[in-house]
Amino acid sequence: MADWRNTVHNILNHFLSPFEGLNISVNRVSWLSLCVSIIASILFRTKHAMLGIASIFIVLFLDSLDGFLARKRDTASIDGFIVDVACDRMSEFVIFHPHTIWTILAVVNTYMTILRIKYEKIPILPLRHVFMIITLIEIII
């Protein structure tokens, strides 16, 4: 599991390294990702699905960026992790509304996150990634 995570981190580091010098706090990046999630939610509900997918892509990019910046600045901490995962869970709730099944999955993910805070081995489901891919497939088909 640790090797798998390291590989993902290495790939992400490669793509995110141009943003290393950004003069913005890590928590502000998380804050921004939640704001973009609100925009994504509005776009989906106004039937602009492609723009919604693009917005989710930006949300996921910002989500990766905050973790990357925290690691690079050596400021990764439990406080930062809490901010990050809380933003992610709220982001899921706002993006998935009004889909009942996805919202219930977001509830399950919230409780998995609470367990993850206590036990590192508990996984957090990448629901927004899956939602983005499924929505994209639906549009193409």
Q: Is 19 helix (H, G, I), strand (E, B) or coil?
A: helix
Q: Extract the tokens encoding 65.
A: 């960026």
Give the helix ranges, DSSP H, for the chain.
2-16, 26-45, 49-72, 78-96, 100-118, 127-140
Closer CB to other proteins, residue 104 or residue 139? 104
Q: Which of 93, 81, 91 is nearest to 27 (CA)?
A: 81
CB of 25 to other proteins, least distance (A): 9
Closer CB to other proteins, residue 71 or residue 97? 97
CB of 7 to other proteins, least distance (A): 29
CB of 38 to other proteins, least distance (A): 7
Closer CB to other proteins, residue 76 or residue 94? 94
Q: Give the orientation angle of helix 78-96 with respect to helix 26-45, to 10 degrees.
A: 10
CB of 83 to other proteins, least distance (A): 5
Contact yes or no for 54/123 (Cβ under 8 A): no
Closer CB to other proteins, residue 45 or residue 73? 45
Q: Is 51 helix (H, G, I), strand (E, B) or coil?
A: helix
Residues that bind other proteins (CB under 8 A): 27-28, 31, 34-35, 38, 41-42, 45-46, 78-79, 82-83, 86-87, 89-90, 93-94, 97-98, 100, 103-104, 106-107, 110-111, 113-114, 117-118
